[in-house]
Amino acid sequence: MQLRQLAGSRAPGTDDSKRELFKKVISYMTIGIDVSAVFSEMVMCSATSDIVLKKMCYLYVGNYAKNNPDLALLTINFLQRDCKDEDPMIRGLALRSLCSLRVANLVEYLVGPLGNGLKDGNSYVRMVASIGVLKLYHISASTCMDADFPAMLKHLMLNDKDAQVVANCLTSLQEIWGLEASTSEEAAREREMLLSKAVIYYFLNRIKEFSEWAQCIVLELVAKYVPSDSNEIFDVMNLLEDRLQHANGAVVLATIKVFLQLTLSMTDVHQQVYERIKSPLLTLVSSGSPEQSYAVLSHLHLLVMRAPFIFSSDYKHFYCQYNEPFYVKKLKLEMLTAVANESNTYDIVTELCEYAANVDIPMARESIRAVGKIALQQYDVNAIVDRLLQFLEMEKEHVTAETLVLVKDLLRKYPQWSHDCIAVVGNISSKNVQEPKAKAALIWMLGEYAQDMQDAPYILESLIENWDEEHSAEVRLHLLTAIMKCFLRRPPETQKALGAALAAGLADFHQDVHDRALFYYRLLKYDVSVAERVVNPPKQAVSVFADTQSSEVKDRIFDEFNSLSVVYQKPSYMFTDKEHRGPFAFSEELGNLSIDTDLANDVVPAQRVEENDKDLLLSTSEKEENHGSINNSSAYDAPSYDGSRMVGALQPQQDLVSLDQPPPANTPASLAMDDLFGLGLPVAPSPTPPPLALKLNAKAVLDPNSFQQKWRQLPVAASQEISLNPQGVSALSSPQVLLRHMQGHSIQCIASGGQAPNFKFFFFAQKEDEPSTYLVECVINSAACKAQLKIKADDQSTTQAFSTLFQSVLSEFGLP
């Protein structure tokens, strides 16, 4: 009623009264109370020249118009009238509100005001209108394109004097042409135009006119630009040199991304870029709030992990301060671990040992882990082992727990330290170790070094007596293995404890524990010497511990530099909704391939393959796979033994563990249980039938989105390098020749790219009678006559058969 009374009033003080009422309405709306009932009264009260009232009214209208299209129709007249107001501020606000209604059946009313807004004499109105075009596109793309708004935006972008208008036009055009490119060749050409030399230089020459966030938009565009030669690269970097000193961290990071992307193919210059960007990043880390520092530190962390030697002299910048939050300290500890080398290890470890005594338990744990990681890098091992053993004497539960886990890993890599470590570990009471991982580590050492620890059998026996009280399956599994190892080295002292452990394991409800106990029992019943070769074979020292994150993932994160991917330490596809992921965009012509950052490591645009072949075609993940023979499993593989020694069925159980009898002879007992692990097979097994030839579906179909999704989700089933015959290499004059050859053998190509001598292909095939798909990444170096294959499959059991088939087809290429 009060709003209605004030609607047509021109009395003095009316605007003040309206303000109070509008504030009440907006406050109710803000806390979630539905005030849509006063919509018409709010619209009637909007007839005023007071900008504050206009703003509140537009805020109210924008909130309720989308969900109340009928009410939104009431606002059209007064918004269109305000779009022609003499005050440019009101014109801009009205146009912004009009475009924010987002009601599909009202788009016809937007075209006229938007067209006038783009031609308005005031820069604020043009700035609003340039973003309004993008809003219109999302409401009705056809209306936007029919009105030829993109062409008007392009003209404004290249000719407007106001930098913010130019930046808004760039933002709108990038999104519009990016979405239209899949269906319109003209839009695809216009999108490529944004990356032309003339346009890029136009933006770079005006870079200082833009606001901070507009500069970030321009720099993101420049990062996608491919210069024609090294001179152009240096020109761009010289032009952007002063952006590294900018006060805004976002501008600095965007500039760093440009520098890194431009120099990927120039190894020496790329390293110099790391040296140049080091100082600005370290300055940003030490200034601003902890949240800002963390964002910058995350990017610095990524660079440190890629090139630790460049930052090794700056290790003191990564020391933790007492008032920093834990998430910042944890990142710094990881960087300290990475930059450790022969010259700075002593200082770093001394600092980390101070943190280990911290009252903050998570910080103390991370510090101890950091010390252990440095030791595993083979830097100053003697002193570090002494420090770790001192941690065990601190008698703090969390310190003891973390140290035991690290000592176990150290003994796996440095067996020569077993005497010193075991002397200290032997004094630790198992009752004082409660954490499952720590208890498992202690049990592993008791079993592995049972001959050196006098009380090992009795400590293990006491743990077995409390079997039912141990809730961790991991600990029970380690306990079974440890008691077996101890028994094989000290049988008289351990026989009783082993019997109790096997009995408890066979009765265990956890399937893995039950199966391991059953396996050990059958091994012992079959042959103790075989059991020793399986359970306790000769071991080599572990040379490399597995990384928790693959190099392929790290490379993708690097490609998404200056984004949330770096902060989250995972590629964008792992945390974004499907509809917002980058499209796997393929051109009509197989010789060219356009992609988004989502598969930047997997596919290389044709124009950049030759320049960046060392960094992209042979990424770190592929280099590691080529050296895959160095891994942990090689050191701990159980030795194989002659299957002919497996004699018939086992006799019925007499004693749980019997050592004074020879292996039982063949008896026709039931094989129902003992055949679980294949130990009761006949002496002469039937010959294995030859594998059936793999048949492929000649009409296999797979759309790009499905290929992309499968490629992300499936693990690598096979990875190898093969040689190509010279005739095939000489026939590879263009990718299409090979594609037709592969299609003739039911292997389809979904994407290809590159120029001689480096070509990259993505193939797929499907089994003839099953919906099982094989995916292949094939990188061919025609100069070396080599091909690198990476195969992923739905059914990994047939991967070897498909790999053989694929290599056979590829080897036939070019033969008469």
What pLDDT sits at residue 15? 73
What pLDDT sits at residue 816? 61
SS3 299: helix
For the purposes of burial, counting CB atoms within 10 Å of the CB of 358, is it exposed (0-12), middle (13-18) or buried (19 or more)?
middle
> HSE on the CB side for 97, CA within 13 Å?
30
Considering only CA atoms, give the Rg of the chain: 35
What pLDDT sits at residue 579? 61
Strand partners, 792: 775
SS3 781: strand
Place of tokens 């293990």: 460
State how far Cα 572 lies from the chain centre: 7
Strand ordering across the sheet containing 758-766: 718-723, 786-793, 773-781, 758-766, 748-755
Place of tokens 């075009």: 133
Q: Are 620 and 555 in contact (CB under 8 A)?
A: yes
| pLDDT digit string, tens, across residues 255-310 | 999 999 999 888 889 989 999 998 999 888 888 788 988 999 999 999 998 888 88
Report the distance separating Cα 217 and Cα 449, nearest Å. 61
Q: Within 10 A of 223 (CB to CB), how many other CB atoms are there?
A: 18
Low-confidence ranges of the chain (pLDDT < 50): 583-691
pTM greater than 0.85 (yes/no): no
Sign (positive/negative) of CA torsion 479, 485, 491, 493? Answer: negative
Start-to-end Cα distance in the chain:
93
DSSP string, 162-184: -HHHHHHHHHHHHHHHHHHTTT-
What pLDDT sits at residue 8? 65
Strand partners, 793: 774
Q: Are 101 and 67 in contact (CB under 8 A)?
A: no
What pLDDT sits at residue 539? 79
